[in-house]
């Protein structure tokens, strides 16, 4: 039995559902839900191949040591990029420094602000943050931010990119 099959069996048992009692309609319903789950899993893996590690809400709280309210406030203040999808929320690991506890990359707020109105789900902004930009000498915005004097160049590039998306 695969690990995934065991998870399904364990969940059915935990919910008090006997798999032997499922009718064909139940199985069709479960199949549709599983297809949707697998589709979302494939999409998540594709995005992670491009963006890097995506953190769950719990993982982000553990990484930062923040409360739920502090994380929500950081998202509202554009200090943290929350990615919204059908499977819930995710957070870009690359948006945090390597300190313990982790903090948002300095200058990220200025890079995220222009995207707020044009990309409410966050995926275009995340892709832009990890993609080489000609305006930044071929470096990604996240690679560029730590450099001295780079915050304004990254913010200007973000304003230009977000304006192109809005047009």
Strands 54-55 and 88-92: antiparallel
Residue 167 pLDDT level (bands cut at 50, 70, 90): confident
The interaxial angle of helices 68-76 and 57-64, nearest 10 deg, is 100
Can you tell me the mean pLDDT for 28-54? Answer: 89
- Give pLDDT tens digits for 18-27: 888 889 998 8
- Give pLDDT tens digits for 117-144: 999 999 999 999 999 999 999 999 999 9
DSSP label at 104? B
Residue 149 pLDDT level (bands cut at 50, 70, 90): confident
- Asked if residue 160 has pLDDT above 80, the reply is yes
- Asked if residue 38 has pLDDT above 90, the reply is no
CA angle 31/33/36 to nearest 5° reads: 110
Residue 9 pLDDT level (bands cut at 50, 70, 90): confident
Residue 77 pLDDT level (bands cut at 50, 70, 90): very high
- At residue 40, the pLDDT reads 82
- At residue 129, the pLDDT reads 97
- Asked if residue 8 has pLDDT above 90, the reply is no
Q: Are 49 and 90 in contact (CB under 8 A)?
A: no
- Asked if residue 29 has pLDDT above 80, the reply is yes
What are the boundaries of each domain within the chain? 3-50, 53-166
């Amino acid at each position: 039995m695969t690990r995934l099959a065991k998870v399904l069996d364990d969940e059915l048992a935990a919910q008090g559902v006997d798999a032997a009692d499922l009718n064909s309609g139940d199985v069709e319903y479960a199949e549709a839900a599983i297809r949707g789950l697998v589709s979302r899993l494939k999409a998540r893996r594709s995005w992670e191949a491009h963006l890097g590690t995506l953190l769950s809400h719990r993982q982000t709280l553990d990484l930062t040591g923040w409360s739920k309210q502090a994380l929500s406030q950081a998202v509202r203040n554009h200090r943290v990029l929350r990615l919204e999808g059908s499977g819930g929320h995710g957070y870009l690991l690359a948006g945090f420094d390597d300190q313990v506890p982790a903090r948002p990359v300095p200058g990220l707020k200025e890079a995220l602000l222009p995207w707020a109105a044009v990309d409410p789900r966050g995926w275009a902004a995340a892709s832009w943050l990890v993609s080489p930009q000609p305006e930044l000498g071929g470096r990604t915005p996240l690679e560029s931010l730590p450099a001295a004097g780079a915050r304004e160049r990254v913010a200007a590039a973000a304003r230009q990119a977000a304006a192109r998306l809005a047009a």
